[in-house]
Structure 1
Amino acid sequence: MSALVHDCAPAPTFADALAAWRAGAHDEARRRCAQLIEADSCNADALHLAAVLALDGDRPAARALIERALALREDPNFLVSFALTCDPRTESDIAMAALTRALELKPDFTEALNNLANLHDARGERERAAALLERVVTLEPQYAVAHYNLGSVLFGLGDCVRAESELRRAIELAPGHVGAWNNLANVLIAGGRELAALALLEHAFTLDPDCVDILTNLGVLLRNAGRMDEARNVLTRAIALAPANAPALSNYGNVCVDRGEIDEALRAFARALELRPDFADAWSNYGNALKATGNIEAALAAYRHALARDAANEAAHCNLVYATQFATDDGMAILAEAQRYAARHEAPYLAAAAARANLPDPHDESPVAKRRLRIGYVSPDFRDHCQSLFTLPVFAQHDHAQFEIICYSSAQPDGITARLAATAGLWRDVRELDDAHLAQQIRDDRIDILVDLTMHMAGARRALFARRPAPVQVAWLAYPGTTGSAAIGWRLTDPWLDPPGVPGIDAQYTERSLRLPDTFWCYAQIDAPPEASALPAVTAGHITFGCLNNPCKLTDATFAQWSGIFAALPDARLVLMAPPGRARERLLAWLAAHGVDAARVRFVGFQPRTDYLRTWAQIDIALDTFPYNGHTTSLDALWMGVPVPTRVGRSAVGRAGLSLLANLGLLELVAYDDTAYVHTVVSLARDLPRLAELRASLRARMEASPLMDSARFARNLEAAYRLMWRDWCEAQPGPRQAQA
């Protein structure tokens, strides 16, 4: 009888377990480690590998295994793995001690150096982290993760040039490293190179469509590029993947604000702040949404919350300065907030010397001898934006023989951009330039007078002007107020916005006020507008008032004035512009508190310009706002034949109605107190023949006025520039020299 032969499987080896782990067969690696440990509980290598395999899902188990391995052998690799089992929030000291000991045993252990650098970075010790990572990439130039970490740390230190180089090297070594693509995009965004960053993020999205960081940043850049539907889609995806991701929620809210979905935006911001109450950007964005509903006091509170959590948040402070003007007509209070902004955000630039090559050379002996001045205009709104109603006519009328016009545009280009560019001597798209590089470009262009068209509104580049790249810097057009900046020497205004000789008027501004002879604004229609319609009251049988200003101008002071009008005219109706939802509900409740029944009020939403202008066909009289009067909206109403009686305030923005009506020869529609305002409006409403006459004549009256005389306005503006330039030249020491 033959003997039985048993087929015995070979005993597992550590090499087999290690090979399975490296091949990604983690379950097989775990099984082999378990067999090895069962066979020999003192197999330190198997204990270590089992710990590494447990790190992702069971940190306590990993900790227990690695401690057993270390008890058997103090190995640098074991110490690095032990550090990974430490809670970074409560055990960073223990982790650092383990890594330090690993480096004592193996001084050039790059993995230990890299992980120690990460711990220092998490503590905010970025210089130390950078030094360690520099050593890592010197020892191991092919270590992609170390290049990624070094680039990220350098970015945190503000060294964008070296950060970009390291992150590009990380991508070269590991093309699928999504974090490196994302952080490289962040570096480019910080440098103003959003188009290049967008291309990077779109590629990163193809690598990992579920990376929330990629989706969030991609949503931001798609929004900035005007691709709102795509932005909304990717941010919606980010929130679906990570419902507790506050940045994704905040950026989604921004897109909703842009799309007029204010209620949805408010919900997104509220959720972001519930998750992260210290999230300054979300507070600032929340303020913008509240402002869009007309709740200006709540918006101001939100901006202040943002600054309480991050005093260096420049966007929030800009928002606060601008929004303050909707809440008060106290010019000194507005000035104080603007100066607080300048002291906080502009001081470092103002402390540095202004390096410029311009030479004092007025050459004003005769018109022929005058040197051609270089005028630079800076704006994010050289596009289909209400600002273009004023820049297009003026730029077209500039005397290009005497003034070289250079425009610095950070606008997303459109058809209006092309029309504006055709009126300039030189057009520069500066979306990809940060403030420092743009300042150098302006110096290289030898700009004599640099004009800020934005002040504290969206897209402002206050740090650019604080660098003082031009010898003369001027604020104009955004709104007739103050920047609060010592870097802006002049502001343009007119005799109505800032009546000369009135005590305290000029003290409200850090800039010197230069009053143009007639008007601060020169208005034109960009495209063929609708014709003015017949007076609606004739067929409706009642007066319809309207206010199509942004709801942020609809203050309690405004409604208090209007209440007397509606009390005197019980059949009158009102048309307001506001987004659907809570904004309208709030305005109706507020009006009801002032005695205006909801049945008398009708709303329209934000509309394309042609549709918006046609809305004026439904309105007999435009009601002005207080303390911030209508500006462009009032000009639009007047163009469509709708008179705009005004209540004059103490601040420049509260005298806009006065300026417009004075230039039209309609001072009888100007009131200086609430009682007079109610009387003026009610008297006009009861005089249908007068209303009909105004309806028929206002457009021609505007066309014949300084408000639309672009050639006259351009000559006045150019004379102002000459005066400013001569003033600067005369203030410079030494002899005057010709400038090449």
Structure 2
Amino acid sequence: MAFADDLFQQAVTAHQTGDLDAAEHGYRQLLSHVPDHVSGLTNLASIIARRGDTQEAEALYLQAITAAPAHADAHFNLGNLYRRLGRVRDAASRYEEVLRITPNSPAALVNLGLAVGHSGEWPRAVDCFARAATIAPHLPDPLHYLADALARCGRRAEAVAALRESVSRFPDAPRGYQNLGIQLAASGETEDAVTAFERALALNPDYAEAHNALGVVQETVGRTDDAQAGYRQAIRLRPDFADAWMNLGTSLGEQGHAAEAIEALRRALTLAPNPLAGSALLLNLMCSAHLTAEQLKAEHVAWADAYANPLVPATVPPKRPPGAKGRTRVGYVMGDFRSRPAVAFLEALLTHHDRTRFHITVYASPVKPDEQLDALRRLADTWKPVAHLTDDRLAGTVRADEIDILVDLNGHGPGNRLLAFARKPAATQISLFGYPATTGLRTMDYRVTDAVTDPPGSAEELYVEKLLRLPDLGWLYVPPKAPEPNPLPAARNREFRFGCLNHPGKVSDASVETWAAILNAVPNARLVLLAGQSVTSAGALAERFTRHGVASDQIELINRLTATDYIGTYHRFDMALDPFPFGGAVTACDALWMGVPVLTAACRDARGRQGLAVLNALGLPEFVADSPDQLVTLAATWADQRDSLADLRATLREMMMQSPVTAAASYVKQLEAAYMSV
């Protein structure tokens, strides 16, 4: 026995000094003499697992457990192996065994919490982390994990309290302030969040994660240049920091730097494949004039192949039989409640659906409750907050609710839950409203559209989904509260003012070149653009026009606007310009609602045909150009017809009110008929 003890000690010494070859040799020599030496089996298994032979490692751990069922280390290490392999249920059972042997093991409680949390059992994870924090008050990790689990359960205030306790216990630990900042930011307490991140950076100026997280908060309060500086500093400290690359790319895209945004997002995806970064990349590619419609479809399909299609289940729910009794169950999935048009569209659906025929469930991921959400909640038959649910759990909820038709209102936009749709929880799944391209998902059965946005015979090849065309428009405009249109400004001024209040990312190089030609062709022309929140980006946008011979005083750049200021700005415009290849939909309608006609260039795919569809519905094809060159000609022609523009300005709102563009009740009837046809 002394000989075996010596062999074991020699192997342990080699193991501790990092000489894994000698340690492995020593453990194997030991086991040749004492095959059931539990510690030898366990330690050898850890080396073998580190080398990547997970099957042998598992066998060694199981041999150790067979030899000594109460050996907690063997159960614990086997649980860790299973967790690394993604076998979280097997991992959880091993940690539970450790707790039967040693009920107050903080490490087992923490790892059990991580395992069950990975499976979406966050309430149980909360219990595990809370016990660990009580048992081991000297350890910071349990409180950090507890806060994260509480937040995932929607218990944000308790998460903040746990982290305040953490920084109180461990005031010199920057990680506590970093995590506190994250939860404060998520609670909308941005000033306190900034303070927390700054404290983390005071303790550790090279804390890349804190630079990145501070940047995210700065972005929310309009300090975009500071935010981008933070992301870049995080990347300098950690060149492989995928999240910082993703945040930088998203921010650059928001400020109109599409090419740089695409480069940064591709870098993020190279470092760490991530469906959210992939969706952000697709949004920026939508703005690019350098991709054909076919290439854009291919990029969406590639996203789906990477992240969504592997999740398609072997069996899917059956379709509702024709003539079945009871109401058809429709579910709307919406993740972006910061968008006024999206919220207004959902409200119109909930208001006008025929509840004798349809039962409506909303799966909502709001940032925080408010009065508007309360009103929406009352309009739905069932309202389910799902922000805290994983995509898998959301899909399970939809399946359990026996939804017949599941409708996505996000596409690849912020807050999307496309990976829930990938799991095909409903027999029929439909893309509606906000995304003028294919989702790429095999499990998205239909896209609601119209014959102008997606012309029959040519558009089908650009989608994975089948096209479900409504008789009028594929979407509905719900007008905001707005003042009456004013008289044409150019009727009393020498200058003629064009405007575009679209997202600055949509102002492509092709748009800049064409609009510069318009400014050079129309005497006394000015252009007002929404420039975002970055001073640096605004200067770069103006410079793009000066390179095309536009005088600096012909361009006026304005920052982000409140809703009231935004709609009132249209009073200053004589005519609006629709960007291309990704044009406006709601923005075009806002201009028209304020009496401002919109000039648009018809493109091949839906992203550049939304303005065309609206103008067609209003009977105004004379504002549609077939090419950028014709757009210049149309702009110059209309700028000379100020009396006609003044007359049109006085009647446009009434035209909108009498058109299918705003006809909510008839739109929902058409949509319901489409639902029943699939």
Match of 2:662 in 1: 708
Paired residues for 1:391-402 under 5 Å? 391-402=346-357
For residues 236 and 340 of structure 2, what CA distance do their matches in structure 1 show?
35
TM-superposed deviation, 1:490 = 0.4
Paired residues for 1:305-704 under 5 Å? 305-311=267-273, 313-328=274-289, 330-354=292-316, 356=317, 360-363=320-323, 371-382=326-337, 385-412=340-367, 413-501=369-457, 503=458, 505-526=459-480, 528-578=481-531, 579-704=533-658
> TM-score of the superposition, structure 2-length normalised?
0.85
TM-superposed deviation, 1:408 = 0.9
For residues 385 and 509 of structure 1, what CA distance do their matches in structure 2 show?
27
Q: Given the superposition, is the C-alpha separation of residues 93 and 581 from structure 1 closer, same or farther in structure 2, using an over 3 Å criterion?
A: farther
TM-superposed deviation, 1:137 = 4.4
Q: 2:215 aligns with which of 253, 271, 274?
A: 253
For residues 572 and 92 of structure 1, what CA distance do their matches in structure 2 show?
75
> TM-score of the superposition, structure 1-length normalised?
0.78
Write out per-residue CA displacement over residues 449-483 of structure 1, whole angstroms, 9 at most, x where no aligned residue: 11000111111111110111111100011222111
Question: 3-state SS of the aligned residue for 2:513?
Answer: helix
For residues 337 and 672 of structure 1, what CA distance do their matches in structure 2 show?
26
Match of 2:51 in 1: none
- Structure 1, 152-161 or 539-548: larger mean CA deviation: 152-161
Q: 1:294 aligns with which of 243, 253, 256?
A: 256
Would you say how many aligned residue pairs link Structure 1 and Structure 2? 636
For residues 233 and 541 of structure 1, what CA distance do their matches in structure 2 show?
51
TM-superposed deviation, 1:251 = 1.9
Write out per-residue CA displacement over residues 327-382 of structure 1, whole angstroms, 9 at most, x where no aligned residue: 1462211111111111111233214323x3x5632228xxxxx7421111000124
Write out per-residue CA displacement over residues 284-311 of structure 1, whole angstroms, 9 at most, x where no aligned residue: 1111111022110111111111111112
Q: Given the superposition, is the C-alpha separation of residues 158 and 77 from structure 1 closer, same or farther in structure 2, using an over 3 Å criterion?
A: farther
- Structure 1, 619-628 or 425-434: larger mean CA deviation: 425-434
For residues 42 and 404 of structure 2, what CA distance do their matches in structure 1 show?
62
- Note if contact 2:313-2:423 (Cα within 8 Å) is conserved in structure 1: no
Give the aligned CA root-mean-square deviation in angstroms. Answer: 3.6
For residues 408 and 482 of structure 2, what CA distance do their matches in structure 1 show?
29
Q: Which amino acid is 1:241 matched to?
A: L
Q: 1:284 aligns with which of 220, 243, 246?
A: 246
Q: Given the superposition, is the C-alpha separation of residues 192 and 268 from structure 1 closer, same or farther in structure 2, using an over 3 Å criterion?
A: same
Q: 2:194 aligns with which of 209, 232, 244?
A: 232
TM-superposed deviation, 1:652 = 0.3
Question: 3-state SS of the aligned residue for 1:645?
Answer: strand
Q: Which amino acid is 2:504 matched to?
A: P
- Structure 1, 193-202 or 215-224: larger mean CA deviation: 193-202
Match of 1:61 in 2: none
- Unaligned runs of 5+ residues in structure 1 are 1-72, 365-369, 725-740
Write out per-residue CA displacement over residues 542-599 of structure 1, whole angstroms, 9 at most, x where no aligned residue: 0111111111001101011112101112421111111241111110111111221222
For residues 131 and 284 of structure 2, what CA distance do their matches in structure 1 show?
45
Write out per-residue CA displacement over residues 74-126 of structure 1, whole angstroms, 9 at most, x where no aligned residue: 99999999988x6xxx7788999999999569999x99959995998899689
- Note if contact 2:309-2:442 (Cα within 8 Å) is conserved in structure 1: no
Q: Given the superposition, is the C-alpha separation of residues 151 and 423 from structure 1 closer, same or farther in structure 2, using an over 3 Å criterion?
A: closer
Q: Given the superposition, is the C-alpha separation of residues 571 and 77 from structure 1 closer, same or farther in structure 2, using an over 3 Å criterion?
A: farther
TM-superposed deviation, 1:421 = 1.9
- Unaligned runs of 5+ residues in structure 2 are 31-37, 44-67
- Note if contact 2:319-2:404 (Cα within 8 Å) is conserved in structure 1: no
Q: Which amino acid is 2:205 matched to?
A: P
Q: Which amino acid is 2:677 matched to?
A: L
Question: 3-state SS of the aligned residue for 1:238?
Answer: helix
Question: 3-state SS of the aligned residue for 1:266?
Answer: helix
For residues 248 and 396 of structure 2, what CA distance do their matches in structure 1 show?
35
Q: 1:217 aligns with which of 174, 179, 184?
A: 179
Question: 3-state SS of the aligned residue for 2:379?
Answer: coil
Q: Given the superposition, is the C-alpha separation of residues 96 and 142 from structure 1 closer, same or farther in structure 2, using an over 3 Å criterion?
A: farther
Q: Which amino acid is 1:565 matched to?
A: I
TM-superposed deviation, 1:632 = 1.5
Q: Which amino acid is 2:262 matched to?
A: L
Question: 3-state SS of the aligned residue for 2:361?
Answer: strand
Match of 1:35 in 2: none
Q: Given the superposition, is the C-alpha separation of residues 395 and 223 from structure 1 closer, same or farther in structure 2, using an over 3 Å criterion?
A: same
Q: Given the superposition, is the C-alpha separation of residues 138 and 423 from structure 1 closer, same or farther in structure 2, using an over 3 Å criterion?
A: closer
